[in-house]
Structure 1
Amino acid sequence: MTDRADAAGVVLAGGRSSRMGAPKAGLEWHGSTLLYRATALLRRTVGGPVTVVSAPGQALPALPAGVEVVEDPVEGLGPMQGLAAGLAAVADRAETAFACSTDAPFMHPAFVARVLRAFTEPGSDRTAAGEVDVVLPVARGYRQPLAAGYRTALHGLLTELLQKGDLRPGMLLQHCRVRQLDDDALLDDDGLARVDPGLDSVINLNTPDDYAAARRQPGPEMAVECFGALASAGRRDRRAVHAATLGEAAAAVGLVLDRHVVAALNGDQITRDPQLPLVAGDTVAFLSADAGG
C-alpha cells in the first residue's frame, strides 16, 4: 500500500474502561484482538520499533512478534503519561513516532503515512520542512491527539508537564510547533482519499454500542489472487473479497493458512499470519509453499 515510514509506532493499550466493562485491548476483533490489530497494522506501516504502553500490572493479549511492551510507571494519569513512556522507549531509535490508541480498528496505513509525511514537507502554515514537533489531525470535527505524529524527543517535556499536573493533551501543544491537518489537508493525499474517504481511521470505540456497530461492519475490500497449485478449482482469476484479516481472506477463496500455503501482501511482505490485519486496497497473493509454488 505505502512505503514504510522511517518512524516508530506507539500504541496506548489503556486500562479497564468503565463504559466497556473490560480493557479494550483484549476485545475480540475478527478472530484476534483490538490490540493485536493496532500493533500489527503499525508493524506493517512503520520501519521503526512498535511499542505498546500498558497500565501498571495490566495483562495483555498476545502480540505480533517483535512488538515491545513498556509499562506506564504511574497509573491513572491518562494518555499523556502513556505517551511520555512510549516516546521515551523509542527515542534512541527513531526521531518521530505515530501514536494511537488501541480502539481505532479502522486505522489505515495510508492515514499513518500521510501524518508522518507532514514532518518533512512544507506546510500551509508557513512552517518549513523539519520545523514541526507534532502533526495533529483535526479530522471529523475533532482534534485527534491519539492518531497523531510526535517527535520522540518530546518525552522529556511531557514528563515535566505531568509533574506540574498538566495532564491534558492541549497543554503539550501550547509548548510545541504544531502542524494541524484538517479533513481537506488529509484528503489532499490521493492515496488516502481513495481508501479512506470518510477518515474512518480516527473512529474510536467508546461504548458497547460503538463496538457492536463496528463489529457488524463487513471487512474491507481487497483483491485476492492464487498462483501455482492453488490456482485451481475456480481460484485462478483475481477477485475482490471482504476480509479484515489474512485468515479471512484465505477462507474467502477456500484456503487454510497452513504450512503448505504462504501469502504475499502487496507484492512484498511474505507471511502466513492469519491474524495479520488487512485494509481497503490491499492485494493478497496466495502461493503454494511446496516445491516453489
Structure 2
Amino acid sequence: MVLAGGRSSRMGVPKSGLEWHGSTLLYRTAALVARTVGGPVVVVGAPGQLLPALPVGVAVVTDPVEGLGPMQGIAAGLAAVADRAAAAFVCSTDMPFLHTAFVRRVLRGLAVPDVDMVLPVARGFRQPLAAGYRTALAGLITDLVAEGDLRPGMLFKHCRVLQLDDAELLADTALARYDPDLESVVNINTPQDYAQAHGRPPAEVTVQCFGALAGGGRRGARSIRAATLDEAASGVGLALDRHVVAALNGDQITRDGQLPLEAGDSVAFISGDAGG
C-alpha cells in the first residue's frame, strides 16, 4: 500500500508526480511494491487529487477526509484490502531507494505470533511509513483518528509492535548486500533532497540478450546502471517494442519500460517474435 499524499509545502508540488528516470516517484514505488507482494496493491490519494499513471493492476483508494495526516490514509488503505490480505506493507511515495529486500524483511516480521505491526527503527528514526501492518488494524486506527489521535505514535500504545533496529534489519543477508546503509527509508522533503537523489547514478543490474538479440556485440552478460527497464534496454542498444520482451530475475515477463529496477536485478532480453 502506497500513500500518495497531497501537495508538500516544502516541495511546492505533489511528490507523487515528480519525474524519476522517465517515470514518476509514485509509479516507481507502486511498481516496486507490486513486484514484492503477492496480494493487492493500492495507492491512497487525497480527495480530488490527480494522480499520475499507475502500473496495471494497482488500484486507487481515496482518503475520505483531507488534512488528517497519514493515519487517516493508512486506515483507508488497510480497510480497502482487509478482505483480501491479512497484512500489508505501508509506505509513502517519496522513497526512491526502497528495495524489495527491505519490504520482504519487514513483512516477514508479521509471521511472529501476536505481532500487529512491524516498525523499523532505521537510521535513528521510527519508520511508520515503511512498516508492516495487520489489515485488521484499520478499525482501531479509524477510531483513534476520530478521537483526535492523529500521530502514528498513538497507535503503538494500542497494539503489539515488533521494532526492528538497524542490526536486526541487516541480519537479512539480501538486505545487507543490496542496501547496507538502509537507504530504503530515505525520503524526499525538499527540492534539494530531490535534486540530490535524482542526480545519483542508478543501481547496477545485470543484462543479457538471447537469440537474435545477442548479435551486434550484445552476446554475454554485462553490468550496466539502469533505474528502469527502458534504461536497461537502451543501455544495450535495444528498444522495448513488440519484437522484444524482458524476463526480470528469471520469471516476470514484461514490456513495461517504466518497471523499476534495483541493485541485484537480472534482466534477460528475448525476441518477442514467434520462434525468436
Give the partner amino acid of 1:170. G
Gaps of 5+ in 2: none
Matches within 5 A, 1:2-13: 10-13=1-4
Alignment counterpart, residue 61 of structure 1, candidates 49, 52, 60? 52
User: Counterpart in 2 of 1:124?
Assistant: none
Provide runs of 4+ in structure 1 moved above 6 Å: none
Shift of residue 69, structure 1, vs aligned partner: 0.4
User: Counterpart in 2 of 1:202?
Assistant: 185
User: Counterpart in 2 of 1:211?
Assistant: 194
Matches within 5 A, 1:208-287: 208-287=191-270
Give the partner amino acid of 2:240. L
User: Counterpart in 1 of 2:159?
Assistant: 176
1:121-173 Cα distance to aligned partner (Å, 9 max, x none):
xxxxxxxx221000000000000000000000000000000000000000001
Cα distance in 2, alignment partners of residues 112 and 184 from structure 1: 16
Cα distance in 2, alignment partners of residues 255 and 146 from structure 1: 37
Are residue 22 (structure 1) and residue 22 (structure 2) matched?
Answer: no
TM-score (norm 2): 0.99
* Partner SS state of residue 110, structure 2: coil
Shift of residue 266, structure 1, vs aligned partner: 0.1
Shift of residue 111, structure 1, vs aligned partner: 0.3
Give the partner amino acid of 1:188. A
1:252-290 Cα distance to aligned partner (Å, 9 max, x none):
000000110000000000001000000000000000011
Matches within 5 A, 1:161-172: 161-172=144-155
* Partner SS state of residue 74, structure 1: coil
1:210-229 Cα distance to aligned partner (Å, 9 max, x none):
00000001111110000000
Please give the root-mean-square deviation of Cα atoms over the aligned residues, in Å. Answer: 0.5
Alignment counterpart, residue 123 of structure 2, candidates 136, 140, 144? 140
User: Counterpart in 2 of 1:71?
Assistant: 62
User: Counterpart in 2 of 1:106?
Assistant: 97
Shift of residue 186, structure 1, vs aligned partner: 0.3
Gaps of 5+ in 1: 1-9, 121-128
Cα distance in 1, alignment partners of residues 257 and 200 from structure 2: 19
User: Counterpart in 1 of 2:34?
Assistant: 43
Cα distance in 2, alignment partners of residues 24 and 84 from structure 1: 21
Shift of residue 199, structure 1, vs aligned partner: 0.4
1:91-133 Cα distance to aligned partner (Å, 9 max, x none):
000000000000001100000000000111xxxxxxxx22100
Cα distance in 1, alignment partners of residues 68 and 266 from structure 2: 41
Give the partner amino acid of 2:78. L
Cα distance in 1, alignment partners of residues 126 and 191 from structure 2: 23
Cα distance in 1, alignment partners of residues 275 and 262 from structure 2: 28
1:160-213 Cα distance to aligned partner (Å, 9 max, x none):
000000000000011010000000000000011000001010000000000000
* Partner SS state of residue 137, structure 2: helix
Shift of residue 237, structure 1, vs aligned partner: 1.1
Are residue 185 (structure 1) and residue 168 (structure 2) matched?
Answer: yes
Alignment counterpart, residue 96 of structure 1, candidates 87, 105, 127? 87
- Provide the identity percentage: 73
Alignment counterpart, residue 71 of structure 2, candidates 77, 80, 87? 80
